[in-house]
Amino acid sequence: MNLLPCENINEYPYVTAHFTTREGGVSQSPYGTLNLAFHVGDTEEDVVENHRLLGEKLNYNPRRLIHMRQIHSDIVTVVSSTMNFESPPQCDALITNRVNVPLMVMSADCTPVLIYDPKNHAIGAVHAGRAGALKSIVPKTLHAMEKHFGTSPEEVLITLGPSIHGCCYEINETIADDVKEKGYENALLHQKEKVYLDVNTILYLQLRAMRVSSRCIESASHCTSCHNGDYFSYRADHQRTGRIAGVIVLRSLPA
Ligand SMILES: [Zn+2]
């Protein structure tokens, strides 16, 4: 199984954070092979098996994993003891300080974001596509972590996972105007009468505005559309495709 470890977060001993790729699962085309989403038309048993394989590889119980019914919103959910794998909450960010409860964000072009607060031993998983980014889902997640766990944005580590980059994400003028109006003109790229959007630039600007240090922000260099052989891409695969995931889990601190 080919996983991308979050180098900055994994330097700490009681947390692990990774992003998946297409490789290492049992799903058939167009979900080949490590699709982790149930809602995309893949065979349910295959998705369950993929979750089992990933849990085995990363040493967690897949039944304890919390994922989301993602809706491109700015809703942040604090994980509670009543939540379970079978009934994921409808939201686009999860936060917790509970140990051995893995958090998962799924994506196919949108940016999956993983957050670790080493001081308060708390984590977050965020789904940040264009809509979520423009609704400030990542700053709202940091504010929620501040409120619930005492997190200070200056002290978190953040990794932006594989997503579609400005090289491939063409947008129309209406969206470009909206992006401009919200103050993110620097995220727009103009090429041969076409406009492209780099969502990660928006996320980066928002993080810097919250005083997250640039050395604490790690970014997976791969564009999911350019590297469609390695990642699911909603655009490059013409919408029928699987989902990669970012998964982060806290371990018990020594007593
Ligand atoms: Zn690209």
pTM greater than the 0.95 cutoff:
yes
Residues by chain with Cβ below 5 Å of ion ligand 1: 165, 167-168, 223, 225-226
Distance 162 CA to ligand 1 centre (A): 11
pLDDT for the residue numbered 93: 98
Distance 101 CA to ligand 1 centre (A): 33
**DSSP letters spanning 112-146:** EEEEEETTTTEEEEEEE-HHHHHTTHHHHHHHHHH
Spell out the domain ranges in the chain.
4-161+216-250
**CA separation for the pair 80, 100 (Å, rounded):** 13
CATH code assigned to 4-161+216-250: 3.60.140.10
pLDDT for the residue numbered 253: 87
Distance 65 CA to ligand 1 centre (A): 31
pLDDT for the residue numbered 213: 94
Please state the φ and ψ torsions of residue 100, each to the nearest 5 degrees.
Answer: 60, 25
Which residue from 134, 158, 148, 151 is spatially nearest to 208, judged by alpha carbons? 158
- Amino acid in position 78: V
Distance 100 CA to ligand 1 centre (A): 35
pLDDT for the residue numbered 221: 79
Helical residues (DSSP H) of the chain, grouped into ranges: 7-10, 44-58, 130-134, 137-149, 173-181, 199-209
Instruction: Note down pLDDT in tens along the chain; length 255 residues.
Output: 999 999 999 999 999 999 999 999 999 999 999 999 999 999 999 999 999 999 999 999 999 999 999 999 999 999 999 999 999 999 999 999 999 999 999 999 999 999 999 999 999 999 999 999 999 999 999 999 999 999 999 999 999 999 999 999 999 999 999 999 999 999 999 998 999 999 999 999 999 999 999 999 999 879 999 999 999 999 999 999 999 999 999 999 887
